[in-house]
Amino acid sequence: MRAILSAPTADALGVIELDLLDRNTQLGATERRVQRVKTLDEAGYAVNDSGSKQCDRDIRLAWQPDETADARVAYLVETYATLHLSCRDGFFTVAPSRFDHVNQQSRLDLLVLERLAS
């Protein structure tokens, strides 16, 4: 699987294509904002359903460490508060949350802010 991460503005260094590790990449689950509260009436509960939003989604990208790719990703994370991500599931505006190296893999955690296209 591949993903393209880019700066939200024109930047010659602001784009990187990553060859992802399928088994460790998580493109985020679809969730609903649902709360269930116990009540004292006959039903015994009340449900509050606020629907599903793209911003409830977290994405984790994982790839084999590569000095050039890691330097480019670090640059993007340090320079921009938001980035664009193109992947199998769509085109998103994301906020980088964490970039690190764990178990001989590079990982980038992203918070989805908006889905721009499917």
pLDDT the model gives residue 98: 93
DSSP 61: E
pLDDT the model gives residue 2: 93
Q: Collect all residues with Cβ–Cβ distance below 8 Å to 12 and sequence separation of at least 6.
A: none
Query: Cα(85)–Cα(92) distance, rounded to whole angstroms?
Result: 5
* Terminal Cα distance for the chain, rounded: 16
Q: Where are the beta strands (DSSP E) in 20-118?
A: 34-38, 45-49, 58-63, 83-87, 90-102, 105-117
Regions of the chain where pLDDT drops below 70: 28-32, 52-56
Give the CATH number of the domain where residue 87 resides: 2.40.30
DSSP 52: -
Residues spanned by the domain of 83:
2-117
pLDDT the model gives residue 54: 65
Q: How many structural domains does the chain have?
A: 1
Give the CA angle between residues 50, 55, 59 to the nearest 5°: 135
